[in-house]
Amino acid sequence: MNIAEVREPTFFILLSLAGGVKHGYAILTESAELSDGRVHLKVGTLYAALDRLSADGLVTAAGEEVVDGRNRRYFALTDEGHAVLVAEAERQRRNAERAAARLRGAARVSGAGA
Amino acid sequence: MSGIENRYRSALRWYPASWRDVNQDVVLSTLLDVADAEGRDRPTARERLDLAANGIRTSVERGLPRSVRDRASALALGIGAAFAAVYLYFFELDGSGGGSLGGEKAELVFGPDRDFGWGPFASAAAVVMLAWIFAFVAGILGGRRIMMVALAASVAAGVVVVAGGEADWAVLRPAATTLFVLAGLAAVAVIGDPGRTPRTVGWSGLSAAVSLVAIVALVRPTFWSSLPPGRYFFELVLHPFWVGATLGSLLVVAAVMRRGDWCLAVLLVALPWLLLIGWEIYLGVGGAFAPLYGVLALIGLVAFTVTVSVTMMRRVGAADARIRGS
């Protein structure tokens, strides 16, 4: 997968799985928590994303069980998925650093002008 | 089985049966988890819409491999953008011959008092063409979502212009058949991602460049024809004879090279024309060439149906085997 194609919902799905194997509902709730409520995936969209990430080799099914009469399928991050997530996190960190440096410079300019 | 479970099962019928065999119980459990957490006893409208959209998308993705969808998308985007650019320049822009010629014809029909046109354009169909060109640029730059929105806007604008009837801003529009073909190409363009790789971008660019040269070559010699521009454009440039011959040649080349993905992609791009030919035959139009078009359409539709069916069966079988094996 091209790193430029990691959109925000995909990033938070991968990030939630970085914490360990999870089933669909746990991925939904954790993605919402990790994104401060910005990413609210619908169930159909979540499973479409998981299908796509499985096809790309970033995520894999990790077993099923029935809990309280409900079928749970667990998903796990693959090594490739972990590498993509690390690269995307690094890209975001560099962007944030550049933004912070630029904003510090802008603050000094406006402070000198005042 | 509870009422909400029945409703979710009903909403999941948008997905193909083979997908439901493997995934339905898992997805249903997640839907019920979310409903419990939100204290609901029925699906929301947004959930139903989400399941419908993803169900349709799953059906398309399972039936058609990504390699075919990207190829068809790239071809359709290039061809549609070339048509749109030529139509915009030769027929929509004022003072470009085609548009003013159409205006003269319209004056003969409706009288000299009407102020035909829409700003600098012959009709509001310029929005359709501009949206196509914008979609092409977005598509090859990797902005698939923007491309999809632009193509949806082009289709919507086409519907509005056709509904405009004989209004000043609509009367010099392209023929409805031209707009139908462009809408069909838009539908094919959105099934894949023409900006996914440098190679798909190359296919889009090549498709646009070759189409542009071919269409301009067709338009130029008979530029001063007395036919109204919209109808003229369909009858000459978008005519099934030219397009059928071109796509048929591509199909033969793909078949000889044993490239099944290209064969199916070309057939997908030809689908809007095939449907239109079928419709025109149904209406009893087509002139002296009608029997020839009938044979072409029949061969094309049979080839399309058989190829898609075989591909879908193979793909679904392989996908199910993969899922069960994992």
Q: Where in chain A are the domains?
A: 3-113
Q: For chain A, how are helix, strand and coil distributed in percent, rounded to 5?
A: 65, 15, 20
Residue B8: its pLDDT value, please? 94
How confident is the model over B108-136, as a mean pLDDT?
Answer: 82
Nearest alpha carbon to residue B182 among B214, B206, B150 = B150
Nearest alpha carbon to residue B211 among B19, B81, B304 = B81
Residue B199: its pLDDT value, please? 92
Question: What is the rounded distance in angstroms from the CA atom of residue B210 to the CA atom of residue B86?
Answer: 13
Q: Is the pLDDT of residue A61 over 50?
A: yes
Using CA coordinates, name the residue in chain B closest to A49: B54
Using CA coordinates, name the residue in chain B closest to A69: B29
CB contact under 8 A, A44 and B32: no
CA distances B72 to B77, B79, B286, Å, are 8, 11, 27
Write down the domain spans for chain B: 3-60, 68-227, 239-326
Residue B303: its pLDDT value, please? 67
Q: Which of A10, A29, A50, A51 to mutate to probe the B interface, most B CBs <10 Å?
A: A51
Question: What is the rounded distance in angstroms from the CA atom of residue B75 to the CA atom of residue B84?
Answer: 14
Count of H helices and E strands in chain A?
4, 3
CA B57 to chain CA centroid, nearest Å: 15
How confident is the model over B20-41, as a mean pLDDT?
Answer: 93
**B222 or A66, greater pLDDT:** A66
Average pLDDT of chain A is: 88
How confident is the model over B68-77, as a mean pLDDT?
Answer: 93
Contact B91, B98 (CB under 8 A): yes
Q: What is the pTM of this model?
A: 0.65
Residue B107: its pLDDT value, please? 60
Q: Which of B22, B26, B38, B316 to mutate to probe the A interface, most A CBs <10 Å?
A: B26
Would you place residue B56 in the very low, low, confident or very high pLDDT band (cuts 50, 70, 90)? confident
ipTM attached to this prediction: 0.87
Question: What is the rounded distance in angstroms from the CA atom of residue A14 to the CA atom of residue A27?
Answer: 9
Shortest Cα distance, chain A CAs vs residue B41, angstroms: 16
Residue B217: its pLDDT value, please? 75
Instruction: State percent of chain B over pLDDT 90.
Output: 34
Specify the range with the lowest mean pLDDT, choosing from B6-20, B58-72, B136-150, B231-245.
B231-245
Q: Has domain A3-113 been given CATH number 1.25.40.390?
A: no
Would you place residue B177 in the very low, low, confident or very high pLDDT band (cuts 50, 70, 90)? confident
Tokens of residue A102, six digits: 């630029």
User: If DSSP states are collapsed to H, E and C, what string results for B239-255?
Assistant: CHHHHHHHHHHHHHHHH
Tokens of residue A51, six digits: 């299908």
Specify the range with the lowest mean pLDDT, choosing from B23-27, B42-46, B160-164.
B160-164
Residue B120: its pLDDT value, please? 82
Contact A85, B94 (CB under 8 A): no
Average pLDDT of chain B is: 79
HSE, CB side, 13 Å, CA atoms: give it for residue B204.
Answer: 29
